Amino acid sequence: MKLQQITVNTDLLIIGGGCAGSMAAICIKEAAPNLNVCIMEKGHIKRSGSVTMGMDALNVAVIPGISTPEEYLETLKKKCWGIIDYLPNYTLAQRSFELLKTLESWGVFFPKSEDGNYNIMQVDTSGKFCVAMDEPDLKPIMEKKIREAKIDVLNKTMGTKLIVKDGKVLGAVGFNINNGQVVCCRAKSVILANGSASRFGLPNTGYLYGTFDFPGNAGDGFALAYRAGAKITGMEFTLRYALVKDLNIPLIYIVLTRGGQVINTSGEVIVDKNNLSIFLIVEALENRKGPLFLKTDHLAKEKILEIENILFSTERPMQRRYWELKGIKFGRDLIELNLTEAQLCGGHGISGIVIDELAQTNIKGLFAAGDVSSVPMQHLTGAFVYGKIAGESSIEYCNNENFSENHKDIDREFAAEFEHLGNLLNLAENNAIQHTTFEYKLRRIINEYLLSPKNASSLKKGLNLINELREQLPHQVQARNFHELSKILEIGYILDCAQMSALSSLTRKESRWGCIHKRSDYPDTDDVNWLKHIDLQVGHTYPETDIYLREIQRGDGK
């Protein structure tokens, strides 16, 4: 088994071909056809990412006449307990309707009532920002546009390192997880769009890949950016969602907005469409007020059919088979809900690479979009809007910056990464522990020491164990092929995320966001001292980390 080298030269490199990366690529090619664009995607662009097929809602859509960006910001501020910056989120809201229109022009279907209005759902205790979408082929629609625009795609290729010199990005290294080709990609600008840290906490089933969010994302983007010197924020926001127990897929919004209820064992209604908030369900479960169930037996037949039609056609149609297997029928049986594993995500939560309203990171020429970046709770809308913005900003950067031929620095950095991968492969060929076993242990430790209720002793213990596992990784985990080598790299990313999360949680000496960051040694919320962001940046030598507190950016950029 030997690694091979190849070199790719491009103007713009996009790492990650989910919705954010695909949108960036399409927009760049439309606006600047003269620029070369290349996408590195770990899976296959047609089906990879959080959206492998379709989606049933755009969770952030500020539609003229229905809501305003100001109202969106007010709602978001409440949900994030004040830890949001004004401009990135305002921009998201402001550009969300234009995005919806773009998608519609591509043939993405948004159902409308007879009078021509979108189907807008209230999924928060205030504000109507969620628009129903009924598009089973969202991902293939994007892939077709990429193919038609003749954008270069390197499938099965994972970005393993950003090449940065003097605070400026010069390219990246990619690794083909099937054939072992290591790609030296020289680029003027790089957009990171490779998703969240889904494989973080361990799901209650113990099944490593049974996560809520797409398990192909192991925090690769967070780790790559962090190692390269980008600032990462919000890593103490260890988010657990409430979803269908064991299956871990979402359907709560779809069922509740159509009249379903969440009840406890005494039949008491905990949440329905009048007080719809996923966080109320999470709190009830965290506070051991469960088990909780979705109840639909009071709904009319047409409603049940409507629910089934959506659930079994757009986002995860395979679930029909699950319900058959379990003998559960909508409209008749209760469906048990439970907490998901903990994840770190800039789409559902607030964790990710620090970007501004132009999708810029603190590294010149490096942009980030979607779940990998911190635009709190931006969801799919954010992936699209910031994919587009990252595209626009990177074109601007390519057209206005001076680029000297800097092959020497790139080649040196590439050679170091090539050697590192080769050495790791040589070591790992003779190791004995399976990657899944090692990952299980790491994620069990995350559950035990890094999640709420948190306290200084458990977080420090967690940090020590993470350091021990870091030492052991190259000497314990076996790789008999390139796929398995990619899993060792991914475990390295999970380790980075775990370390960052523990450090941020230790730093935030207060409790915030209910059960998401509950410190038993600092039980109160302390707005005087902690209404701030906690940013991390790699220190002098990796994985040493510097910690910064950053003020909240309030309205109008002040």
Binding site for another protein (CB under 8 A): 42-44, 46-49, 52-53, 155-156, 177-178, 205-211, 214-216, 246-248, 316-318, 321-322, 325-326, 436, 483
Query: Which of ligand FAD, another protein, none is residue 209 near (CB under 5 to 8 Å by kind)?
Result: another protein
Strands ordered across the beta sheet of 152-154: 152-154, 37-40, 12-15, 189-192, 366-368
Q: What angle do CA 321, 326, 329 make, to 5 degrees?
A: 80
Binding segment for ligand FAD (CB under 6 A), chosen from 53-61, 102-110, 295-303, 421-429, is: 53-61
- Residue type at position 430: N
**19 contacts ligand FAD (rule: CB under 6 A):** yes
By C-beta, is 20 or 83 nearer to ligand FAD? 20
Question: Measured from the CB of residue 444, what is the shortest distance to another protein in angstroms?
Answer: 15
Query: Which of another protein, ligand FAD, none is residue 85 near (CB under 5 to 8 Å by kind)?
Result: none
d(CA 348, CA 210): 17
Query: Which of another protein, ligand FAD, none is residue 53 near (CB under 5 to 8 Å by kind)?
Result: another protein
Query: Which of ligand FAD, another protein, none is residue 207 near (CB under 5 to 8 Å by kind)?
Result: another protein
d(CA 367, CA 14): 9
**193 contacts ligand FAD (rule: CB under 6 A):** yes
**374 contacts ligand FAD (rule: CB under 6 A):** no
d(CA 158, CA 369): 17
**231 contacts ligand FAD (rule: CB under 6 A):** no
By C-beta, is 61 or 243 nearer to another protein? 243
Residue 409: how many CB atoms within 10 A of its CB? 15
Angle between helices 482-507 and 220-228 (to 10 degrees): 70
- Count of residues in the chain: 558
Residue with tokens 């590439």: 414
Binding segment for ligand FAD (CB under 6 A), chosen from 105-113, 187-195, 227-235, 281-289, is: 187-195
Q: What angle do CA 251, 255, 258 make, to 5 degrees?
A: 150
Q: Are 401 and 372 in contact (CB under 8 A)?
A: no
Query: Which of ligand FAD, another protein, none is residue 371 near (CB under 5 to 8 Å by kind)?
Result: ligand FAD
**59 contacts ligand FAD (rule: CB under 6 A):** yes
Question: Measured from the CB of residue 452, what is the shortest distance to another protein in angstroms?
Answer: 24
Secondary structure class of 416 (helix, strand, coil) = helix
How far, in Å, are 184, 381, 386, 429, 554 from residue 360 at the CA level?
A: 23, 18, 10, 40, 19
Question: Measured from the CB of residue 46, what is the shortest distance to another protein in angstroms?
Answer: 6
Angle between helices 456-476 and 407-429 (to 10 degrees): 80
Binding site for ligand FAD (CB under 6 A): 15-21, 40-43, 48-51, 55-59, 158-159, 193-195, 213-214, 216-217, 220, 249-250, 347, 370-372, 379-381, 383
